[in-house]
């Protein structure tokens, strides 16, 4: 069978060479198509390769009657309508690994430029000045590099930093002491990393949990004279707080490749003489541009010839009869995954998903993927989806188990998620109640009846008279309204839990007050 492939954005010859080597593939390169012309032509093609120039909109996908795959030569897929692609059974693939080396090298280049004041010295020399004393730098040998986020790029930075004889301490939700030891680096909490480091580089996705994670409070904990690097995402660092910390001499300098607003509009921060800045060049190398195109070309070949992909970012359409039976459980499975991620005290190492009742007779693989997505989204953000969740789990070293049983424990169907960490396991179970919707019915050993939505508050405490009243009174002091409350206990006077639904997010200062209440052992906020 012959496949026709359209390349509508500029890609290197090396990038599309794998496609041209396939005898059953005809490649058309046309990088000057208008939207109307693409609409007219797309019906002739089995695959479409783009970068960021072509907007693959719903109307294009609807017109693409033969399209099987869209390949994005890069990481982001903002220019592709993923929902429309999924609806029409079109697989979308990207290249998440192609720019890893480029981004890691740029981070090290920024670190060295910051340490030795290279851009500032060059600018001075360009002004015909010879001022050696003004640009005395620092050596990196023997200094401590703190890495916040140890994914693909963070790990590559750690490897290179060791070559520069830096001491490396890192924090990542999935990093364990054993993994750190194997890498030859030091494991630390977020606080330990920012407190001990001479240089701090961030390599996390931008999530609600990581937005402004480097803020005024963080700067206050750092060593005087610390240096900050951000080649990951704008918004991880509070730029106003960084500006003030530099003015106050708390921070000796910063190297920034990304910003909260791009293209940059406010140059106040980068105009400081202590700041080194580049316009989002982390992936801007010839090799990175080639690598992402090569990676996505190989994926397109795999999909067209074998129907499998390494880096899919959406879920292919399911058989209608299967989808009809399992679709009601999609919301529940993701909610249970997110809930279980909050229960875990440490990095998740193993996930076991148990299907009971009628679910045991079905192909529940999509539900398993959806559950894993719910777990990983808390740490990796919205780019985790049903299809790529197992890929990211594998990259994180997380074992996924799927088990089925006919035992329902009193429910028509029961879905149970158990997460394992180094210190133990935690478990949450849920079901669909006829006419009432999704419910969480068990948390660890405690029976509850909780709707998995909104702002939840999980409190572990000792079963003593007045405990519930003290919690209610304290929340009332902070004008927090309780919508629902569930209590479960092991035995009278023993361990117990409260599950509260509240009308707004709980601030850290309220959490601290709750943790100080007598007989309360643990307080967790869970937003579903």
| Cα gap 523→460, rounded to integer Å | 7
Catalytic residue among 139, 262, 327, 382: 262
Annotated active-site residue 402? The verdict is: no
Half-sphere exposure of 135 (CA within 13 A, CB side): 17
Instruction: Quote the CA–CA distance of 357 and 414 in Å, as a whole number.
Output: 7
Active-site choice (72, 106, 160, 233):
233
Which of 217, 206, 270 has its CA nearest to residue 239? 270
Secondary-structure breakdown of the chain: helix, strand, coil percentages, each rounded to the nearest 5? 35, 25, 40
Instruction: Report how far apart, in Å, the C-alpha atoms of 330 and of each of 84, 114, 325, 442 are.
Output: 19, 48, 10, 18
- Options 280, 325, 470, 489, the catalytic residue: 280
Residue 500 is inside which H or E element, if any? strand 495-502
**Strands 482-489, 455-462: pairing kind:** unpaired
d(CA 73, CA 215): 34
Q: Is residue 262 annotated as a catalytic residue, yes or no? A: yes
Residue-by-residue DSSP string for 395-421: HTT-EEEEEEES--TTSSEEEEEEEEE
Q: How far apart are CA 90 and CA 73, in angstroms?
A: 16
d(CA 268, CA 119): 18
Residues 6+ apart with CB under 8 A from 506: 455, 457, 480, 525
Cβ neighbours around 32 below 10 Å, total: 8
Q: Write out the DSSP string of 131-153.
A: -GGGG-----TT-EEEEE--SHH
Does residue 280 have an active-site annotation? Answer: yes
| Active site residue ranges | 233, 262, 280
């Amino acid at each position: 069978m012959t496949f026709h492939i359209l390349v509508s954005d500029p890609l290197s010859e090396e990038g599309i060479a794998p496609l041209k080597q396939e005898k059953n593939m005809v490649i058309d390169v046309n990088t000057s198509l208008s939207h109307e012309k693409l609409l007219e032509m797309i019906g002739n093609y089995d695959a479409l390769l783009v970068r960021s120039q072509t907007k693959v909109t719903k109307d294009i996908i609807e017109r693409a009657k033969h399209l099987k795959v869209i390949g994005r030569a890069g990481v982001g897929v903002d220019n592709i309508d993923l929902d429309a692609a999924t609806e029409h059974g079109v697989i979308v693939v990207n290249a998440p690994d192609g720019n890893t080396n480029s981004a890691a090298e740029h981070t090290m280049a920024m670190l060295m430029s910051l340490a030795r004041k290279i851009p500032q010295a060059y600018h001075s020399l360009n002004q015909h000045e010879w001022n050696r004393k003004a640009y005395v730098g620092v050596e990196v040998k023997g200094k401590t590099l703190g890495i916040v986020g140890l994914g693909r790029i963070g790990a590559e930075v750690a490897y290179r930093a060791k070559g520069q004889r830096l001491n490396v301490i890192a924090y990542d939700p999935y990093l364990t002491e054993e993994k750190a030891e194997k890498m030859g680096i030091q494991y630390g909490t977020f606080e330990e990393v920012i407190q001990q480091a001479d240089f701090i580089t961030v390599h996390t996705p931008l999530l609600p949990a990581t937005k402004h994670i480097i803020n005024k409070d963080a700067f206050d904990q750092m060593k005087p004279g610390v240096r900050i690097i951000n080649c990951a995402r704008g918004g991880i660092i509070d730029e106003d707080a960084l500006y003030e910390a530099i003015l106050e001499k708390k921070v000796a300098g910063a190297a920034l490749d990304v910003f909260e607003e791009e293209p940059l509009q406010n140059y106040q921060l980068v105009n400081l003489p202590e700041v080194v800045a580049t316009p989002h060049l982390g992936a801007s190398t010839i090799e990175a541009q080639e690598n992402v195109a090569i990676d996505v070309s190989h994926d397109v070949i795999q999909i067209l010839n074998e129907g499998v992909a390494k880096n899919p970012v959406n879920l292919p359409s399911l058989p209608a009869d299967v989808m009809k039976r399992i679709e009601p459980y999609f919301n529940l499975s993701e909610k249970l995954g997110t809930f279980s991620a909050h229960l875990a005290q440490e990095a998740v190492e193993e996930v076991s998903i148990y299907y009971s009742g009628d679910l045991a007779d079905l192909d529940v693989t999509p539900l398993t993927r959806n559950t894993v997505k719910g777990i990983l989204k808390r740490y990796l953000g919205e780019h985790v989806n049903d299809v790529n969740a197992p890929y990211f789990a594998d990259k994180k070293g997380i074992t996924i188990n799927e088990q089925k049983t006919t035992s329902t424990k009193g429910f028509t169907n029961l879905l149970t998620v158990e997460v394992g960490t180094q210190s133990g396991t935690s478990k949450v179970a849920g079901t669909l109640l006829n006419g009432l919707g999704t419910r969480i019915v068990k948390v660890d050993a405690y029976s509850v009846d909780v709707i998995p939505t909104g702002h939840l508050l999980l409190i572990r405490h000792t079963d003593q008279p007045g405990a519930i009243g003290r919690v209610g009174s304290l929340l009332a002091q902070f004008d927090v309204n309780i919508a629902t409350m569930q209590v479960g206990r092991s035995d009278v006077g023993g361990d117990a839990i409260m599950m509260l639904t509240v009308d707004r997010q709980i601030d850290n200062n309220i959490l601290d007050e709750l943790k100080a209440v007598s007989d309360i052992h643990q307080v967790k906020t869970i937003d579903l």
